Chain A
Amino acid sequence: DTAVSQTPKYLVTQMGNDKSIKCEQNLGHDTMYWYKQDSKKFLKIMFSYNNKELIINETVPNRFSPKSPDKAHLNLHINSLELGDSAVYFCASSQKGGGTGGELFFGEGSRLTVL
């Protein structure tokens, strides 16, 4: 039973389209995150939510809109996709928040390719 699951795992789309990635965690954690990993493997935090409340928004273009319907789900919607959005997007969760001592549990990633 996967702890943090993301769908879809692969996404290929055209520039200008809108797409969503879904994330669910069954660990009972309060905090969820979206990270972006670029082609050079660099991982950068995009957003974090604690119990459905936005905590971190790291100067991400407003084309990216996270939504957390409940604390077990954190979805990422991207409008007007651009070539530079091609990356692997990781969802993660933690009990206390990674910076305050909680271990981050990562999903397997969603590879987005924008053509």
Chain B
Amino acid sequence: AQSVTQPDIHITVSEGASLELRCNYSYGATPYLFWYVQSPGQGLQLLLKYFSGDTLVQGIKGFEAEFKRSQSSFNLRKPSVHWSDAAEYFCAVGSRGTDKLIFGTGTRLQVFP
């Protein structure tokens, strides 16, 4: 069965620092991988997605993620965090032929000035 693990429940960084949010998945075939962001009181917005091809994908707001098949990981990175990046971040995995996305439990990001 598919599953997604986000090991970090809560991360705090200083504004301007680099960021890496971890995501590990469990899936037998090549997964479709997504990162979503949820600001307080809002719905989820897609940051980036991986389906195939180049394993380093670029997203909105300066985020990128790298698919590493050998580690079953899809970590999200940003070189310099802004205070407006404070939010909840969700990794998700999908598969060809289904409409079902499996979400991780989320990582809450706090940014200090």
Which residues of A are at the interface with B, using a C-beta cutoff of 8 A? 4, 31, 33, 40-45, 48, 50, 55-56, 58, 90, 92, 94, 97-101, 103-104, 106-109
**Which of A43, A56, A90 contacts B99 (CB under 8 A)?**
A56
Q: Is B43 touching A106 in the complex (CB atoms < 8 A)? A: yes
Which residues of B are at the interface with A, using a C-beta cutoff of 8 A? 32, 34, 36, 41-46, 49, 51, 88, 90, 92, 94-101, 103, 105-106, 108
Q: Is B96 touching A45 in the complex (CB atoms < 8 A)? A: no
25 inter-chain pairs at a CB distance below 8 angstroms, sorted by A residue, are A40-B105, A41-B88, A41-B106, A41-B108, A42-B106, A44-B103, A45-B101, A48-B99, A56-B99, A56-B100, A90-B43, A98-B92, A98-B100, A99-B94, A99-B96, A99-B99, A100-B94, A100-B97, A100-B99, A103-B46, A104-B36, A107-B43, A108-B41, A109-B41, A109-B43
Q: Is B98 touching A45 in the complex (CB atoms < 8 A)? A: no
Q: Tell me how far the C-beta of B103 lies from the nearest C-beta in chain A, rounded to whole angstroms.
A: 4
Asked whether A103 and B100 contact (CB < 8 A) given A108-B41, A108-B42, the answer is: no
